[in-house]
Amino acid sequence: MALRTEELMLNMGPQHPSTHGVLRMVVTLDGENVVDVQPDIGYLHSSVEKMMENRTYLQNIALVDRGMDYLSAMANEEVWVLACERLGKIEVPERARYIRTIMLELQRISSHLIWLGTFGIDLGAFTAFLWAMRERERIMDLFESATGGRLHHVYFRIGGVFEDLPEGWTDRCEEFCDYFLDRLPEYDELLTGNPIFLARTQGVGVLPLDTAIAMGASGPVARASGLAYDVRKAHPYEVYERVEFDIPVRSEGDCYARYLVRLEEMRQSVRIIRQCLERLPAGEIRSKVAVTLRLPKGEVYARTESPRGDLGIYLVSDGADRPYRVKIRAPAFSNLYALTEMMRGWKVADVIAILGSIDIVLSDVDR
Amino acid sequence: MSWALAEKLKAAFPDVELFPRAGTEPAGTRDQGPGTGSGEQVTAAPESTPAAPRRPAHEVPPQYLTPGVYVPREKLLPVCTTLAGDPEFGLTYLSFVSAVDWPDRNELEVLYHLYSHQTRQELALKVRIPRDDAHIPSVSGVWDGANWHEREAYDLLGITFDGHPNLRRIMMTDDWVGHPLRKDYVYQDPPWLVEVAKERQKDAEGLGLGERV
């Protein structure tokens, strides 16, 4: 007699430690095999786009810090001020552009470190979390001394940055770069060659390249699937066209490839920071921009490479002192959509590994 | 950014209309956005040809810094299929789908942003639809990634995407009233919340705490 089997619906979240925030997943299981996954989002929706319509261009800098991806506030500020500067044709002094690039890359390292730590926890490697937090703390200190804020900086301004770097900051930043490059091989020892880590990640959750593009995946997720695309190279902003760096691309498309891509990106970020520190020019840090800025009527799409991928803002201005409509193109939103494709056919234990590998931040997904 | 793709599309589909380019006059009055109440000068000088005299802000034509085209609603699917499938365009990557609400013109502009990784070209598509008849063909069959973006536009702006496989609210709860990103949206408590509030009120009165303020 054949064994009678039934599919099982398993609800994960929204309160679940391994979902990295308030994500609910409805997993359909056949025994231990995942048949289907339906992510349910919106638990952290704060309608940032609507709130932005009611605030001036300057006030919105503080809003994008909090309302969008809270682990990479600098990247959010960057895309917002970039959109405003492009539409208003506002010049940014050289020094400010270098400072911004340094901050963005520090933010990328800090965001990737959080990801590395939580990904380690997902797979049972707690040490990685403690080590990643230790390194991240140094970046937080650098941010705090320059901007006054650790997570939400409100540091970028339309036309520059808020304040110049404090005395000795560049030396401390240089010190951090040396320190961090020393620490990176430790992660290799801890995770890259770890047989358990390899067994949990290699070949797991493969996302083919054409599916990745069709689903709108971007950032490290798409680059791990073989898409050699990075906004910093394709459409350089700030001073990215003047510094040398490589875009790590892997073709495997599995969790391990996504891990390797992010690890290498941190190395490249240090490279960028060092070149910027070397060439950091003296001079003005902010051009004169009215507090009640009125942007001319028009529309612009600005895109940047946030730690999570292709982060864009479509800004519609009707000539008033606040935006008419802002559309935030959040990278984690599209990356999360590709989740179903990645998980189908894997075991229930892999669900956690695959979800961890795409690095979502729910405030970025839900906005 | 180059307008070459937009012009190529215009050649293939004569029905589409290019966004007004910087320095050119708008095609008609409908391109003049609302918000004409302000007569003040804009802080940042808009780019114009040197010969053009400086005009008050509300007369300056809007600038579209992203190349794009207006597409008639019934032509959307053929246009999108060509853009994604024809290697001459190769726009295989859909950045987002959204919409802009213009209540003064009784119009919703559905906005698609497309990108090609090979040629590094971008193109925006806009479809004007009336606010009271807000439906449009779904492009989730062309770009799979449009699925969630269209659900978001349905949820927040109340646009029905015909042929969408799973058109449900995505951000707000299923029983939400209204579409928050519409300009005339006024918050209303969903029915279950009204019930919960009534229950709480009863509890509070039972405890002799009086009316909650």
User: Does the pLDDT of residue B32 top 50, yes or no?
Assistant: no
Interface touch A89/B66, C-beta < 8 Å: no
Together in a domain, B84 and B166: yes
Omega within 30 of 0 (cis) for the link into B34: no
Nearest CA in chain B to A43: B171
The residue of chain B nearest to residue A50, with distances taken between CA atoms, is B181
ipTM summary value:
0.86
Indicate if B174 and B74 belong to the same structural domain. Answer: yes
Kindly state whether residues B25 and B77 are assigned to the same domain: no
pTM of the model: 0.85
pLDDT tens, residue by residue, B46-72: 444 444 455 555 556 677 778 888 888
Q: How far is B151 from chain A (nearest CA, A)?
A: 12
pLDDT at B43: 43
Which of B171, B172, B181, B182 has the most A C-beta neighbours within 10 Å, making it the best mutation to test the interface with A? B171
- Check: CB of residue B97 under 8 Å from CB of residue B149: yes
A332 touches chain B (CB under 8 A): no
Q: How far is B106 from chain A (nearest CA, A)?
A: 16
pLDDT of residue B47: 46
Which region among A15-29, A271-285, B88-102 has the lowest average model confidence (pLDDT)?
A: A15-29
CB < 8 Å to B100, chain A: 316, 324-325
Residues B49 and B71 in one domain: no
Average pLDDT value for chain A: 88
**B42 and B80 both lie in a single domain:** no
Q: What is the pLDDT of residues A191-249, one digit of tens each?
A: 888 888 888 888 888 889 988 988 889 999 999 998 889 999 888 888 998 999 999 99
Interface of A with B in 191-220 (CB under 8 A): 211, 213-217
Domain co-membership, B135 together with B56: no
Q: Is the pLDDT of residue B37 over 50?
A: no
What is the arithmetic mean of pLDDT over A261-272? 91
Inter-chain residue contact A312 with B43, CB threshold 8 Å? no
State whether B151 and B128 are in the same domain: yes
Distance CA A315, CA A301 (A): 6
Do B170 and B109 reside in the same domain of the chain?
A: yes
B53 & B124 share domain: no
Overall domain count for chain B: 2
Strand order across the beta sheet in which B63-64 lies: A325-329, A309-317, A298-306, B63-64
Would residue B204 count as lying in a domain?
Answer: no
Answer whether B63 touches A (CB < 8 Å): yes
What are phi and psi for residue A312, nearest 5 degrees?
Answer: -130, 160
- Domain residues for the domain of B42 are 20-63
Q: Residue B163 falls within a domain, yes or no? A: yes
pLDDT at residue A17 in the model: 60
For chain A, percent of residues with pLDDT exceeding 90: 31
First-to-last CA distance in chain A?
53
B36 and B85 both lie in a single domain: no
C-alpha pair distances (Å), A135 with each of A111, A116, A201, B203: 11, 11, 24, 51
Residues B129-161: tens digit of each pLDDT: 998 888 899 998 889 889 999 999 999 998 999
B152 lies in a domain?
yes
Out of 3.40.50.1820, 1.20.1630.10, 3.30.479.30, 1.10.645.10, select the CATH number for domain A46-328. 1.10.645.10
In angstroms, the CA A216 to CA A341 distance is 12
Determine, yes or no, domain membership for B34: yes
B186 lies in some domain: no
Domain shared by B72 and B37, yes or no = no
Shared-domain flag, residues B29 and B125:
no
HEC string of A300-365?
Answer: EEEEEEECCEEEEEEEEECCCCCCCEEEEECHHHHHHHCHHHHHCCCEHHHHHHHHHHCCCCHHHH
- Supply A317's token pair: 């201005």
Q: What is the pLDDT of residue B40?
A: 41
Which of B206, B212, B156, B152 is CA-nearest to residue B181? Answer: B156
Collect all residues of chain B within an 8 Å Cβ-Cβ radius of residue A89: 44-47
Per-domain residue ranges of chain A: 46-328
